[in-house]
Structure 1
Amino acid sequence: MTAELVRGQNHPLPHTRLDIGVSAGRPVVAAVTLSDEDGRVPGTEWVAHPAQPALPGVEVSRQATADHLLAVDLNAVPASVHRVTVLLALPMGPGCPVRFGAVAAPFVSVGAPDGPETASYTVTGLDSESAVVAMEFYRRQGGWKVRAVGQGYAGGLAACLADQGLDRAGELAAVVHEAVAPGLSRTVGTPPPRTAEVRRNAAAAATTGDPGPCADHGPALGTTSDTGPRPVDPANPQPPAGTHGGPVDYTHPRRQSAAPPPPPAVPPAAPGRPPVPVAGDATGWSMEERLYNQVWGMFEDLARTTAAYRSAVDFADSRLDQELDRALSDPHSRIAGTAGGAREAARARHGELTGRAREVLDRDLDQLTAESEVVEPALPPAFARWDSPVWQSYRVPTEMPMALRLGDLHLPERPGLRIPMLVRLPLERGLWVDSGRSAPESAVVPDGTRLRALAMDTAVAHATRLLAVHPAGEFTVRVIDPAGAAARSLTPLVRSGVLDEPPAAGAGGVSAVLAKLTQRVDLVQMAVRGGAADALPPDLDTARQLLVVNDFPHGFDDRAVTQLRYLADEGPAVGVHLLMVADREDASAYGPVLDPLWRSLLRITPVPDDHLADPWVQHLWTYEPPAVPEGRDVLGPVLARVAEARRTWRR
């Protein structure tokens, strides 16, 4: 499971031998510096760069390219090294951009050689900078951690090196740029999308001369690997992932290599009034991507403004306590009888501070509420609520969306302001619908039987949405219901015919499904790693798989438990995902052996619950599960269209 870092976030490293991938869309220079305990680079011999590509434990590229693969062995660096830093810089040459704000945000990934990514970071927020500290690895309590830095330098590589304490940084920067200059003329830029218009433009460019190694070739659409996107040819489409004879591609979609177009123009606001909200008011290649970015922008705005309000209230409370303590501890005020007035004045100042903070909060929340009212009706099916009119005109899509709505999030300062909880597709971790009691004792929670039924209803709603947002034939749902207790909840899936097999029941059914999926993970892993997708058995279903597991751990023996843990750990990378419906307390007999399973899954609930903690601003977000409107059959018509599309696809 990859940790997608943001600026300043750190993450532990389970491995010390690392491959660092850099994808920038345009040629960049990559370098690595080694720092001592004080964070200083003692000399040029502590810098790996194209003119000196190898140091103990470090190897970098010799050229400026759009894609780099750097090798770092943290156990092999000298013991005096306490920090290993990855630097990126724009080369100096004809046609080369002079600032990162004019190119795609660089993407950096870290992982073990021949293993999955451990962490990744998209270096956003750059403008006039021409060099940036992308990531750093540092010692902490006997181990190593990685941190996303994103510190840019308008002064270029020289300023970046000087900031790390390197003497004669300008001379070394000149050496680096001189070393990569000969290779720039041989650098191949990112190819453009192969549309007819671009082909015509390319032909015209070929008759007028080479625009230069760093010229803009346009955005590249489609993805085939985590190291960078490749173009998709609409005139000669490839078989979809999962079809026999085609590539098996379970990598993260929509990872772009160039800057998206600007957001749509926002109507000017009247003087003294807030701006008018507009759906899609964010950057992105498509309206879907713009809406996704806008929703997450709303989430961040709500988190920030609420954090500022709570901080202001805490400050006012602390100041009130200090002033009251001073008034009570001053003997002169007690003798003169002025203590009461001091207390009233302190309370008045407290009320003024909290009142101003609340006014600012209400202003921001009103603006976010207005934006939510505009954005919600514009959301596509993958992002929309079940009561949205978009489901009335639903059609099976031809490509997978970039994200999926799992419910809503809100904070107590404005419970009515709900922000969609979106997770990227494909799912990078499984889901766990907690059927146990988790809400506070004061909350009204259904009894155990009703709660388990609600949990399974929630799981079916999630499975329906996953089926609905994938193209026909690219997503398959399997169900394990050992005791047949979920028959009522599973009725929409069974009746529509979207299940290729009936829900597995009994010990034999559980064993057969888990064995089949475990074998599938093994085979696809070997095929992907060996680049031999065409060697897969012809009867193997290579579509993405969702395994819905009800009432775990009842009906599961030790072998089945081990297989489930294996699927949770290894399945997402090759298109097998878990959706568990379980009460953790029921599995307590297994002891801590199942703790890694629970931690590997994203916990959601069938009733509102404030279990989602925000590590950045320390909020406890209340999660609201997706609600299917009562008295309306929304899932049935959607599943019927999915089933019909699957039958058409198989003909």
Structure 2
Amino acid sequence: MTAELVRGQNHPLPDTRLEIRVSSGAPVAVAATLFDAAGAVAGAGRVVHPGAPSLPGVEVSRQAAAEHRLAVDLGAVAADVHRVAVLLALPADPGGPGRFGALAAPFVAVAVPGGAAVATYTLTGLDTESAVVALELYRRQGAWKVRAVGQGYAGGLAALFRDQGVPGAAGLAAAVQDAVAPAPAPTAPSAPAPTAPPPPVGAPAPSGGPVDYTHPRRRTATPPPPPPSAPPAPPGTPATPVAGDAAGWSMEERLYNQVWGMFEDLARTTAAYRSAVDFAESRMERELEGVLSDPRSRIGTAGDAARAEARARCRELTDRAREALDRDLAQLTAESDVVEPALPPAFARWDHPVWHAYRAPTEAPMALRLGDLHLRERPELRIPMLVRLPLERGLWVDSGRRGSEQALLMDEARLRRLALDTAVAHTARLLAVHPPGDFTVHVIDPAGSGAAAFAPLTASGVLAGPPAAGPGGVATVLAQLTRRVDLVQMAVRGGAGTEVLPPDLDTAGQLLVVHDFPHGFDDRAVTQLRYLADEGPAVGVHLMMVADREDAAAYGPVLDPLWRSLLRVTPVPDDHLADPWVGHAWTYEPPRIPQDSQVLQQVLASVAEARRTWRR
């Protein structure tokens, strides 16, 4: 299964021999920097680039191209190399784009040679940058991993190399540009023979082939730019927002990319505002300290005037920053107002009219909405929190009274019921966005205390069976799902098709909802649960826990890997989602079913009816 990385995410590499595939909307030069254990570059001789295209274990192309395939053998690099950074740079061509923001987002895939991709990364959010660190391969505890980086440099390769501490950065950057500079046009040019594009990495195998849980509509090439939708706005006026105004192969993918673009725009503009305010306040503090340190200006009218001027300059800078922020937020709000009504069911809120015309889909969506995100500067501007499908991490709906002030002040029983209602809403959406027969849900409720909350699921008949109760029920469900993971893993590793699996094995995607953990779980059941969390997602088995971490404290640190492997969501607003790149703490808003609405029951009834029709 291919891991689709986001910025900062890492993924283990199964082998040291790799192929790195690069796809971009224009010719780019590819290079690689080799770092030692201390994070230092020994010299320009540790940089692989088109002018010096090979070092032990790493080889890059000698020319700029829109498509690259780089050969990497991490087992052959020098023993002191602990990190390999893969760089992309636009050639210094006067007729070229000059910046990545003028192109479709570059796409990078790390694959086994001639085989499927292990991990992919689309470098979104680039603007004025002309060079970027795309990803890095690094050693960790004797094994190699890949990390998505996406750090761009408006100053080009020279700025990038200086930031990496490469000696002679400017000269090295010039050597790279000279190596990929276009040759003079021949007097009688001839067009090169067209070459067929490589087949999509991770494409589903033909019928009867190996088991493949890769999403059937995930593409690994750079999507085309959005179609022209409106004439350009006059200079100095903001563009009119249009739903789907982003690159993508379909309207769904364009909307997904547009939502992520809105998220990145909100992060950047808020970071710029906060940075400007911090600068204004720190400068005012320095100026006030200077006034106080000068005995001539401590007292009297001169000192008062100096202090007043320092405060006035701070207000002026802050006001200008706020004006820029308000302008950007107004544009994002206008974009949200046109995007939100256009979202498909998988991306839409529960109060969206699209749910009233719900029909079971014929194919799974590319992503799912788990709630909303906002920042304190504009709480009413909420960006959909979309996660890709199939889920690469399980979910943990936290029912504990910690974190947000709202959770701390809420009655414990009320909070636990909200957590269950949130889990049911997530489960219903997962069922609704998958075609009939493609997704199966199991529920473990050892003491039966969640019967009222699970009633919409049980009454509609969308579950694989009644919620499992008691130690025996827990053991049965866990044994069934661990057996499924074991058998599918063996089939995948052996390259076998679905025909080798037992006929009673449900190969559809599976979701296990666990309530009231650790009640009813013995040591064996806990081990099985951890196994499902770690190994299940790769073969289509996903975990959703509704639990308070403190309830499992008796197990000590043995369950820490379980909690860390799950994406924590909350039943009340909570600012626990950290953004390490710009330092924001995003407030997560859980999905809400409108009060007195029957939308959940209606959707689940439609799901159940579609399943009955599918089975006939």
TM over 0.5: yes
Which segment drifts farther, 20-29 or 523-532?
20-29
AA of the residue aligned to 1:107:
V
Cα offsets for 1:599-625 (capped at 9, x unmatched)? 100000001111111111111111100
Say if 2:470 and 2:520, in contact at 8 Å, map to a contact too.
yes
AA of the residue aligned to 1:455:
A
Q: Matched residues in 1 for 2:12 and 2:551: separation? A: 33
**1:581 partnered with 2:546:** yes
Which residue number corresponds to residue 278 of structure 2?
A: 314
Which residue number corresponds to residue 106 of structure 2?
A: 105
Give TM-score, length-normalised by structure 2.
0.82
Q: Matched residues in 2 for 1:332 and 1:445: separation? A: 53
What is the CA distance between 1:546 and its match in structure 2? 0.5
The secondary structure found in structure 2 opposite 1:42 is helix
Which residue number corresponds to residue 197 of structure 1?
A: none
Taking a change above 3 Å as real, the CA distance of residues 80 and 355 of structure 1, as seen in their structure-2 partners, is same
Which residue number corresponds to residue 78 of structure 1?
A: 78
Say if 1:438 and 1:609, in contact at 8 Å, map to a contact too.
no
Taking a change above 3 Å as real, the CA distance of residues 299 and 56 of structure 1, as seen in their structure-2 partners, is closer
Taking a change above 3 Å as real, the CA distance of residues 264 and 395 of structure 1, as seen in their structure-2 partners, is farther
Which segment drifts farther, 159-168 or 131-140?
159-168
Which residue number corresponds to residue 38 of structure 1?
A: 41
Taking a change above 3 Å as real, the CA distance of residues 62 and 541 of structure 1, as seen in their structure-2 partners, is farther
Taking a change above 3 Å as real, the CA distance of residues 540 and 165 of structure 1, as seen in their structure-2 partners, is farther
The secondary structure found in structure 1 opposite 2:520 is coil
Say if 1:12 and 1:144, in contact at 8 Å, map to a contact too.
no
Taking a change above 3 Å as real, the CA distance of residues 379 and 40 of structure 1, as seen in their structure-2 partners, is same
Say if 2:59 and 2:70, in contact at 8 Å, map to a contact too.
no
Taking a change above 3 Å as real, the CA distance of residues 302 and 173 of structure 1, as seen in their structure-2 partners, is closer
What is the CA distance between 1:328 and its match in structure 2? 1.8
The secondary structure found in structure 2 opposite 1:594 is helix
Match of 1:248 among 211, 234, 239: 211
What is the CA distance between 1:136 and its match in structure 2? 4.0
What is the CA distance between 1:367 and its match in structure 2? 1.3
**1:370 partnered with 2:334:** yes
AA of the residue aligned to 2:606:
R
Structure 1 gaps of 5+ residues are: 91-98, 178-209, 233-237, 240-244
Match of 2:470 among 506, 520, 531: 506
Say if 1:229 and 1:256, in contact at 8 Å, map to a contact too.
no
AA of the residue aligned to 1:562:
T
Say if 2:130 and 2:152, in contact at 8 Å, map to a contact too.
no
Which residue number corresponds to residue 641 of structure 1?
A: 606
Q: Matched residues in 2 for 1:609 and 1:170: separation? A: 48
Taking a change above 3 Å as real, the CA distance of residues 71 and 405 of structure 1, as seen in their structure-2 partners, is same
The secondary structure found in structure 1 opposite 2:313 is helix
Aligned pairs for 1:348-367 (under 5 A) are 348-367=312-331
AA of the residue aligned to 1:486:
G
Say if 1:136 and 1:149, in contact at 8 Å, map to a contact too.
no
What is the CA distance between 1:325 and its match in structure 2? 1.4
Q: Matched residues in 2 for 1:328 and 1:102: separation? A: 53
Q: Matched residues in 1 for 2:428 and 2:303: separation? A: 66
What is the CA distance between 1:354 and its match in structure 2? 1.2
Aligned pairs for 1:490-529 (under 5 A) are 490-529=454-493
What is the CA distance between 1:327 and its match in structure 2? 1.7
Q: Matched residues in 1 for 2:488 and 2:242: separation? A: 44
Taking a change above 3 Å as real, the CA distance of residues 23 and 644 of structure 1, as seen in their structure-2 partners, is farther
Q: Matched residues in 2 for 1:367 and 1:60: separation? A: 42
Which residue number corresponds to residue 605 of structure 1?
A: 570
What is the CA distance between 1:250 and its match in structure 2? 1.2
Q: Matched residues in 1 for 2:49 and 2:300: separation? A: 73
Which segment drifts farther, 404-413 or 101-110?
101-110
**1:438 partnered with 2:402:** yes
AA of the residue aligned to 2:383:
I
**1:552 partnered with 2:551:** no
What is the CA distance between 1:130 and its match in structure 2? 12
What is the CA distance between 1:103 and its match in structure 2? 8.8
Aligned-residue Cα RMSD (Å) equals 4.4
Q: Matched residues in 2 for 1:25 and 1:213: separation? A: 20
AA of the residue aligned to 1:77:
V
Say if 1:12 and 1:145, in contact at 8 Å, map to a contact too.
yes
The secondary structure found in structure 1 opposite 2:245 is coil
Aligned pairs for 1:58-77 (under 5 A) are 70-74=71-75, 76-77=76-77
AA of the residue aligned to 1:19:
L
Identity across matched positions, percent: 65
Q: Matched residues in 1 for 2:9 and 2:334: separation? A: 35
Say if 2:53 and 2:61, in contact at 8 Å, map to a contact too.
no
Match of 2:362 among 398, 410, 415: 398
Cα offsets for 1:287-345 (capped at 9, x unmatched)? 11111111111111111111111111111111121122122221112354422222222
AA of the residue aligned to 1:352:
E
What is the CA distance between 1:637 and its match in structure 2? 1.1
Q: Matched residues in 1 for 2:314 and 2:103: separation? A: 47
Say if 1:436 and 1:582, in contact at 8 Å, map to a contact too.
yes
Aligned pairs for 1:196-211 (under 5 A) are none
AA of the residue aligned to 2:73:
V
Say if 2:104 and 2:224, in contact at 8 Å, map to a contact too.
no
**1:467 partnered with 2:431:** yes
| Alignment: residue pair count | 586
What is the CA distance between 1:539 and its match in structure 2? 1.2
Taking a change above 3 Å as real, the CA distance of residues 323 and 436 of structure 1, as seen in their structure-2 partners, is same
Say if 2:517 and 2:552, in contact at 8 Å, map to a contact too.
yes
Q: Matched residues in 2 for 1:155 and 1:592: separation? A: 46
Say if 2:404 and 2:575, in contact at 8 Å, map to a contact too.
no
Q: Matched residues in 1 for 2:578 and 2:130: separation? A: 36
Give TM-score, length-normalised by structure 1.
0.78
Taking a change above 3 Å as real, the CA distance of residues 462 and 145 of structure 1, as seen in their structure-2 partners, is closer
**1:17 partnered with 2:20:** no
Match of 1:632 among 571, 594, 597: 597
Taking a change above 3 Å as real, the CA distance of residues 460 and 18 of structure 1, as seen in their structure-2 partners, is farther
Which residue number corresponds to residue 93 of structure 2?
A: none
Which residue number corresponds to residue 96 of structure 2?
A: none
**1:614 partnered with 2:579:** yes
AA of the residue aligned to 2:109:
V
The secondary structure found in structure 1 opposite 2:588 is strand
Which residue number corresponds to residue 181 of structure 1?
A: none
Q: Matched residues in 1 for 2:268 and 2:128: separation? A: 26
The secondary structure found in structure 2 opposite 1:338 is helix
